[in-house]
Amino acid sequence: MIQRSADYLLIRHIRPEAGSGVCYGSSDLPAADVPDPACAFLADNFLSANPDALLLSSPLLRARALTETLLHCPGSGFQKGVQYDEAWQEINFGCWEGMLWDQIPRQDIERWQDNLETFAPSGGESAEKMRQRVLSAWQGWLDQRQSGILVSHSGVIRMIIGQVLDISLSAQLRLQLDYQHLIWLRRTWLYDDSRCCDATDQINSDVWQVRGMNWPLALAASKL
């Protein structure tokens, strides 16, 4: 019996071009800033330790700009390229998208606050519906048992952390995650190599560790 591990870097996208007080979730806003120069350092160090690492991303522009930088860093060698998936997009606020928060009817905001899990603006999705798509994609990644980097959104990353740490949605909302900062998770499990031809991972042997929370990319790169 041996122990194996995988590292998961969950990075929030670049700050988008959005006016102050604007409600945006799945709106495809362009990036307002340039990618952090530490991207090259991060990609190089992570791939040195995890040569088969995956690169996953939301397809929205503010995430894509950072992802493409990671993919094309000098010496970067993500063997499978980048895997864009709409499951990693931010929540869809429906008719609220693009509105100023203080223009949204107060009674609608109160209904949302009273029903964080199930309320959805007209044409949008509830947190529960979002959780289903995010955790389905997350489980698909876990099933591959491969380290990787995900560039996504605060809501998506909080839901992943909520699943790993078993915390409520209201508690997830208290987690701070700044633009171009990351959360580093490490997963370890037992692997039965006693029979080389049909070695198997041991069910229910997973142990999770939060290695870094809201770290700038340069700090994370120096710790890898």
pLDDT digits (tens, 9 = 90+) for 19-41: 899 999 999 999 999 999 999 99
Q: Is 197 within 8 Å of 6 (Cβ atoms)?
A: no
Rounded Cα gap, residues 35 and 136, in angstroms: 29
Pairing of strands 181-192, 2-12: antiparallel
pLDDT at 176: 96
Q: Residue 34 is inside which H or E element, if any?
A: none
Decide: pTM greater than 0.85.
yes
User: Over pLDDT 70: what percentage of the chain?
Assistant: 94
Q: Which two tokens stand for residue 211?
A: 């290695």
At 50-91, the pLDDT tens digits run: 999 999 999 999 999 999 999 998 767 898 899 999 999 999
Q: Is 131 within 8 Å of 167 (Cβ atoms)?
A: no
CB count within 10 Å of CB 193 equals: 11
Q: What is the pLDDT along the chain (224 residues), one digit of tens a residue?
A: 788 999 999 999 999 999 899 999 999 999 999 999 999 999 999 999 999 999 999 999 999 999 999 999 876 789 889 999 999 999 999 999 999 999 999 999 999 999 999 999 999 999 999 999 999 999 999 999 999 999 999 999 999 999 999 999 999 999 999 999 999 999 999 887 665 555 566 667 889 999 999 999 999 999 99
Q: Could you give the 3-state DSSP secondary structure of residue 181?
A: strand
- Domains belonging to the chain, first-starting first, are 2-223 (3.40.50.1240)
